[in-house]
Amino acid sequence: MPDMTIQVPSIILPTVWATGLEVENVADVAEHTSIDIPTEYLDNVTIHILAMELVAFGAPGALWCWVELSPVATTTSPLYWAAIGGGGGALPPVAPYIEAATGVNLTAHTFTLNFNVHSPYARLVVQTPVSAAPLAFWTVQALVDAKRA
């Protein structure tokens, strides 16, 4: 029987996961951008996000999430990415999805981002624009669900 490749459910960092249980820590005001998601032949795309608060003291800043689309891959050019709802590049959309922190350790937040495909590539961006507490942060995992067009 040939070796099988398993699609790992985390798309935040452009890296290869060992177990599929890895998460990315988000609390540093920087934008965390996923790998490029080829969407040219997909329809009804939904990104399912699991974000968990890890709190030793205080509360993490609010978690901002949005989807950016581009006609070309990041390896071709980083200049064409534009956020759905305006923005793009270093700018978030006019109305990103915002998840408020509770400040309670291990509180899980689950939500979805749905979008219409009109470009061959998409990527997920998550950010905490204000780092509220140095000992509190988010761990984030995302899973892409779509139908073949």
Helix or strand run (H / E) with residue 138: strand 136-148
pLDDT attached to residue 10:
46
Decide: helix, strand or coil at residue 121. strand
Confidence band for 63, pLDDT divided at 50, 70 and 90: very high
Confidence band for 134, pLDDT divided at 50, 70 and 90: confident
pLDDT attached to residue 5:
40
* Per-residue model confidence as pLDDT tens digits over 31-62: 888 888 888 888 888 999 999 999 988 889 99
141 to 4, 22, 41, 76, 109: CA distances (angstroms):
23, 8, 24, 26, 11
All domains of the chain, ordered by start, with CATH? 24-148 (2.60.120.680)
Confidence band for 29, pLDDT divided at 50, 70 and 90: confident
Please give the model's pTM, rounded to 2 decimal places: 0.81
115 to 99, 112, 122, 138: CA distances (angstroms):
18, 10, 10, 24
Decide: helix, strand or coil at residue 58. coil
Distance CA(61)–CA(101), nearest Å, equals: 7
* Per-residue model confidence as pLDDT tens digits over 83-98: 887 776 667 788 899 9
